Structure 1
Amino acid sequence: MKKILCSGILLLSFLNFSCSKGKTDKTPDPVVDPSVTITKGADVSWVTEMEAKGVKFYDKSGAQQDLFALLKSLGFNAIRLRAWVNPTNGYCNTADVVAKALRAKAQGFDIMIDFHYSDTWADPGKQAKPAGWTALDFAILTTTLHDYTKSVMNTLKDNGITPLWVQVGNETNDGMLWEDGRASKNMANFAALIKSGYAAVKEVSPTSQVIVHISNGYDNGLFRWMFDGLKANGAKWDIIGMSLYPSKTNWADLDSQCLTNMNDMVSRYSTPVMVVEVGMEAAAPTESKAFLSDIISKVKAVNGSNGKGVFYWEPEAYNSWQGYGLGAFDTSGKPTIALDAFAN
């Protein structure tokens, strides 16, 4: 998700199949069964780095509080953590992921692990191989991905952590581990990498649900292209994951398009869906709350109760931490009203 810190959502021009820049016809609000419950999560992978730099978090009354406990009190029930192979500063490496996962488990959170298969940010605009993997031929690369995934999963297991969900790749709009796994050039290679990661997860934790994740959850053409291609090449997944980062003026349209896309994914692939990343301007908490309330309702309304959850990406980031302006805490380190949407 790092791609949008300052410049907004990055689209690969050749993958921008069906993004509509105009207003869409207003569709009726979906009917939500009040008995349907979904996961309400947050990606807080920055937390250890923020804490090391002296950043603190406060509840709405101004009392300092541990971030995990604070999110629990706000209605969140799951934590998402990104995994990098060998990051230069150590944050988001396996040891750091385990440390954060243990804190999440202590608060009773379900856990999602998000493998980037890189030493740094992976997203639609960049999918760089880890430095130690760059010279590998494709067969060895596929095996290395499998063995690394299995090693991280075993390390989590050894620490008493069983992720409920595992992403094999992050925002893989054009595949991952470029150039070998660039989907637009070789969908079969990308599918082979997905199959390798899927197998590794299931070998350690058969109950963990494997997610394939791409961005722009409103773009049905992109999703059909990707998952048709993966299916044709024998890839497996348990859940289709998507990102959604609207503005304060277009969120209603994009939410409606996202619901249409989610229902199509369920129908087309018999696969549940999950919005694994959302965010909006921290400076627009009222609009953000409206957006979040609406997308949560729409996920609950997915046909057959196949909408499984909504995760806010780094809500705790404030004062433009690392240039990121889409958190949901105010400048004093307290949650804004945007996060009230997760309490319902």
Structure 2
Amino acid sequence: MLRTAYFKTIAVLVTAILSFAIAFQAHAFTKGADVSWLTEMEANGYRFYDDNGTERDLFEILKEHGMDSIRLRVWVNPNGGWSGISDTIAKAQRAKAAGMRILIDFHYSDSWADPGQQTKPAAWANLSMEDLMSQVWWHTRDSLTAIKNAGITPEWVQVGNETNNGMLWDDGRASVNMQNYAWLTNSGYEAVKEVFPNAQVVVHLANCHDNANFRWIFDGLTNNGGKFDIIGASSYPMHSGLDWQTANNNCLSNLNDMVSRYDRDVMVVELGVPWDQPDAQDVVADVISKVRAVNNGRGLGVFYWEPQGQNFSGYTLGTWNPNTGRPTAALDAFLEGASGGGGSDSSGGTGLSEGRYAIISRFSGKALDVEGNSTSDGANLVQWSYGGGANQQFDIASLGDGTFSIRPAHSGKSLDVYGFSTENGGDIRQWSYLNGVNQRWRIEAVEDGYYKIVSVHSGKALDVYAWDSNNGANIAQWDDLGGTNQQWQFRRID
């Protein structure tokens, strides 16, 4: 009996822990991009280069800059098929293969739907209101069914795009008939839940700084039985008619009002800043920080709109330099820690660029060193007075998920937690790079230009063992205790 009670207690605790973990994962802060132009750009010869000028897949570059999610629009019967359901699925499959989360954005139009135009698809132009609701339901259901059959499960689905005055004009123009707009929204909402019951449905307005419009629309929806899970907003701070600081402050105030007034989570689903604006990185970083600051943690994330744009179709608010094909500093804002001003890096949020460094202990002033200049697997990492040898120089490379490999320049091998140890005092050695989790490191800023180097495998910090200040002292891993023997300076080797 006691044993049965014991196992029941354990089962309850495990269930509670798993429930907490699932809830935490569901509310992880989202950083992403709408890249709906991608296939059309590629068909027109556009290519994408990383910070070092190497041609890469766009999704890889976005992930290296802190993004984990992709937003894709769906048009009903678009010219050329771009952003039709087949094109959207092709991009969604690439996003899924890259391990990214997905938001699907229904415009309910053959082309752009925004505050200035909410034009019905040509095939729906003469339908009655009842038939129009039916078409919204079937289009949403059929499109999502095709997405599901392609093996894709979106986390979010947007019903309408920038519906500041409703959608599918004039039947769904909110200023003419708010009830019709609510009914059309519900048609999309119910279709989403039919195919993906766990997907969160977003209703999206432009002009995050305009609280009056948000209140009018969401009061109207609420009063007419409109259904929505998340309130989405567009933020183009430098095109708001306000200075960007005021626009961002007003946006945060509005998002907090949405949370308290309607008890819904909020998200910025479009963000754009001129690519050549000197303050671009600061503007983007401020929007991200504002959404993170929404009351009670209910700001879910930020999506940049077409960062790869490169002036495609006259769009100048991307984060790629159209003259070089490389990311600008604005994209670094999604790393949340890269410093403003200057070029792009792949720091995973540290502000530390990829490259070659001497790594110096704050405690002893000595350098991280491969003992005996060995090129063999299993050679110990020690500290030694810096003499400029290649065995005291390390190539830091982003692994695309905020973590890094650290490789001795003389051997090309990798810093490695020996034997996959999770114990305090586990040796740090060099080993052929196998992409093991014991060869992946987080580099976390501390203060005054110093960093902690933390094993992804064990969660422990790189440590000068036993506070030894002598040449040859062993380098091990240890619980992060905040000591200077666990703090390191990275000196760039030009």
Q: How many angstroms apart in 1 are the aligned matches of 2:297 and 2:67?
A: 19
The DSSP-based 3-state class of the residue aligned with 1:89 is helix
Name the residue aligned to 1:51.
Answer: 42
Q: State yes or no: 1:253 paired with 2:239.
A: no
**1:157-209 Cα shifts (integer Å, max 9, x gaps):** 00111110000000000100000000000000000000000000000001100
Q: How many angstroms apart in 1 are the aligned matches of 2:77 and 2:238?
A: 34
Name the residue aligned to 1:273.
Answer: 266
| Structure 1 residue 113, shift from structure 2 partner | 0.4
Name the residue aligned to 2:294.
Answer: 302
| Structure 1 residue 94, shift from structure 2 partner | 0.4
Q: Which blocks of at least 5 consecutive residues in structure 2 are unaligned?
A: 1-26, 337-494
Opposite residue 220 of structure 1, the aligned amino acid is N
Name the residue aligned to 1:230.
Answer: 221
Write out the 4+ residue segments of structure 1 that deviate beyond 2 Å after TM superposition. Answer: none
Q: How many angstroms apart in 1 are the aligned matches of 2:74 and 2:326?
A: 27
Q: State yes or no: 1:96 paired with 2:74.
A: no
Question: Equivalences for 1:1-344 in 2 at 5 Å?
Answer: 37-247=28-238, 250-284=243-277, 286-318=278-310, 320-330=311-321, 331-344=323-336
Q: How many angstroms apart in 1 are the aligned matches of 2:316 and 2:325?
A: 13
Count of aligned pairs between the two proteins: 307
Q: How many angstroms apart in 2 are the aligned matches of 1:59 and 1:98?
A: 25
CA contact (8 A) 1:37 1:300 kept: no
Kindly indicate whether structure 1 or structure 2 has the higher relative contact order, using CA contacts under 8 Å at least 6 residues apart.
Answer: 1
Name the residue aligned to 2:387.
Answer: none
**1:123-159 Cα shifts (integer Å, max 9, x gaps):** 0000000011011100011011101100011001001
The DSSP-based 3-state class of the residue aligned with 1:141 is helix
| Structure 1 residue 37, shift from structure 2 partner | 4.9
* TM-score normalized with structure 1 length: 0.88
Bigger radius of gyration among the two: 2
Name the residue aligned to 1:26.
Answer: none
Q: How many angstroms apart in 2 are the aligned matches of 1:332 and 1:321?
A: 14
Point out the more displaced range, 183-192 or 292-301: 292-301
Q: How many angstroms apart in 2 are the aligned matches of 1:79 and 1:37?
A: 15
Q: How many angstroms apart in 2 are the aligned matches of 1:264 and 1:74?
A: 31
The DSSP-based 3-state class of the residue aligned with 2:81 is coil
Opposite residue 273 of structure 2, the aligned amino acid is M
Opposite residue 267 of structure 1, the aligned amino acid is S
Q: How many angstroms apart in 2 are the aligned matches of 1:221 and 1:158?
A: 41
Q: Which blocks of at least 5 consecutive residues in structure 1 are unaligned?
A: 1-35
The DSSP-based 3-state class of the residue aligned with 1:266 is helix
Alpha carbons of 1:63 and 1:239: their partners in 2 closer, same or farther (altered >3 Å)?
A: same
The DSSP-based 3-state class of the residue aligned with 1:147 is helix
| Structure 1 residue 88, shift from structure 2 partner | 1.3
**1:260-298 Cα shifts (integer Å, max 9, x gaps):** 0000000000000000000011111x4111011111111
Over aligned residues, Cα RMSD in angstroms? 1.1
Q: How many angstroms apart in 2 are the aligned matches of 1:60 and 1:246?
A: 26
**1:41-87 Cα shifts (integer Å, max 9, x gaps):** 10000000000011000001000001111111111000000100000
The DSSP-based 3-state class of the residue aligned with 1:58 is coil
Q: How many angstroms apart in 1 are the aligned matches of 2:185 and 2:288?
A: 28
**1:195-229 Cα shifts (integer Å, max 9, x gaps):** 00000000000110000000000111110000000
Q: How many angstroms apart in 2 are the aligned matches of 1:297 and 1:156?
A: 33
Opposite residue 52 of structure 1, the aligned amino acid is A
